[in-house]
Amino acid sequence: MSTHPHLLAIATAVPDHVLRRDAVMLGAKRVFAGSAGEIDRLMPIYANAGVEQRRSCVPIEWFFEPHGWAERNRLFLDHALVLMEQASIKALAAAGLTADQVDVLITVSSSGVATPSLDARLMERLDFRRDVVRLPIFGLGCAGGVLGLGRAAAMAAGHGGAVVLLVVVELCGLTFRANDQSKSNVVATALFGDGAGAAVIGPPGGRRDAPALTAWGEFTWPQSLEVMGWRVEDDGFGVLFSQSIPQLVRERFRSAVEAFLARHNLDLGLIDRFLCHPGGAKVVTALERAMDLPEGSLEDERAVLRDYGNMSAATVLFVMQRGLGGGARGRLLVSGLGPGFSAGFLVMEQR
């Protein structure tokens, strides 16, 4: 395993504002009051989402007023960089490294737009070398954390043992549009939270406790572009969720996993633990059924969803941090689902 890149450290960061479920439900009734009584019919969504609280970069009062695209993106840039810096500093410190020892800097986000890119902006806040290789990734949505880890592992392996810093940030709350009365927008208010994660990938050195990243890959289903994503509206991103996502997971996820594992001479019987992007409570249950896991097996996923909500690409880093911190050992399969409709996979070996 010493020839593989290793996960040297992982860290997370969240903004200060806490949005609790009861307050969000009251806020939803206020915002969606004009939807001809429909919001009362949809209120069970909040109880069934599995989210008791989540973090936000803006206070709850912000969501009651209209906001334009320029304001949303300005807030995204301001708050995203703060969280990225916090997560990066913690991850580098945990790995025993400094910013100038990073060879490759990868940033992942789909909830705001940045040109210059987020990695270039982060370089103005931390002391990276000026020749660091940069890779900004946009548009992978909830699968971005896993796919970003795969890109980081590939670059670490392909650059002769390079040290790679992956930073993932999503401020999903800023995409909420009060004039959007769609069910997808209601579901988003029940699920979405803000957060960031950072991971350091590179040669293990003397770190025997660092998990080896031994395989990574992905699968995109055909004719699935409308399953999940953003619609670009005049005042920002409009959320797109298909009601069929849990069914797609139950019926199609397992075959994609098995094909990925087979390409790496593995099968499900050789996987000791799953660490999945939770998406929502129904998706977690669908993942358990697809993989023939006992109900309740994905406890770390449910705990992260409960305490932080769905932070899109960043969420899986919270699940990994919780799972590894709780003693997950053996061969671990990390997965995430996102727009495309796509699945990302990563195999870690923690002995």
Domain co-membership, 221 together with 89: no
How many angstroms separate the CA atoms of 146 and 337, rounded?
A: 9
How far is 207 from 242, CA to CA, in rounded Å? 43
Give the H or E element holding residue 289: helix 281-290
- Considering the domain boundaries, does residue 207 fall inside one? no
Q: Could you give the C-alpha distances from 271 to 5, 131, 258, 300, 333, in angstroms and in order?
A: 19, 39, 11, 17, 7
Query: Do 133 and 224 fall into the same domain?
Result: no
The CB-side HSE value for 203 (13 A sphere, CA atoms) comes to: 10
Shared-domain flag, residues 161 and 258: no
Say if 141 falls within a structural domain.
Answer: yes
The strands making up 6-13's β-sheet, listed across from edge to edge, are 133-138, 104-109, 164-171, 194-202, 6-13, 212-220, 342-350, 330-338, 273-276
- Interatomic CA distance for residues 87 and 92, integer angstroms: 9
Q: Indicate if 273 and 306 belong to the same structural domain.
A: yes
Q: Are residues 173 and 238 in the same domain?
A: no
> Do residue 172 and residue 237 come from a single domain?
no
Could you tell me which of 332, 351, 350 has the C-alpha nearest to residue 146?
332
Question: Is residue 171 located within the same domain as residue 224?
Answer: no
Question: For residue 144, how many C-alpha atoms fall within 13 Å in the half-sphere facing its CB?
Answer: 29
Overall residue count recorded for the chain in this entry: 351
- 56, part of any domain: yes
Q: Cα(18)–Cα(12) distance, rounded to whole angstroms?
A: 16
Positions marked catalytic:
142
What six digits make up the tokens of 351? 């002995």
Q: Are residues 152 and 299 in the same domain?
A: no
Select from 149, 168, 202 the last residue of a domain: 202
Q: What is the pTM of this model?
A: 0.94
Are 122 and 196 contained in the same domain? yes
Which CATH number goes with the domain that contains 314?
3.40.47.10
Cβ-Cβ contacts under 8 Å for 121 (sequence gap 6 or more): 77, 81, 114
Q: Provide the residue-wise pLDDT of the chain in tens; the chain has 351 residues.
A: 458 999 999 999 999 999 999 999 888 888 887 653 577 777 888 888 899 999 999 999 999 888 999 999 999 999 999 999 999 999 999 999 999 999 999 999 999 999 999 999 999 999 999 999 999 999 999 999 999 999 999 999 988 889 999 999 999 999 988 887 777 788 888 899 999 999 999 998 767 789 999 999 999 999 888 888 888 888 888 887 778 888 898 889 999 999 999 999 999 999 999 999 998 899 999 999 999 999 889 999 999 999 999 999 999 999 999 999 998 899 999 999 999 889 999 999 988
**Residue 156 falls within a domain, yes or no?**
yes
The residue among 6, 347, 336 whose CA lies nearest residue 141 is: 336
Domain that holds residue 62: 6-202
Domain match, 219 and 186 both: no
Residue 189 lies in a domain: yes
* Residues 185 and 219 placed together within one structural domain of the fold: no
39, amino acid identity:
I
Residue owning tokens 């960089």: 81
Domain end (from 165, 182, 202):
202
Nearest to 32 by CA among 185, 174, 232: 185
Q: Are 170 and 142 in the same domain?
A: yes
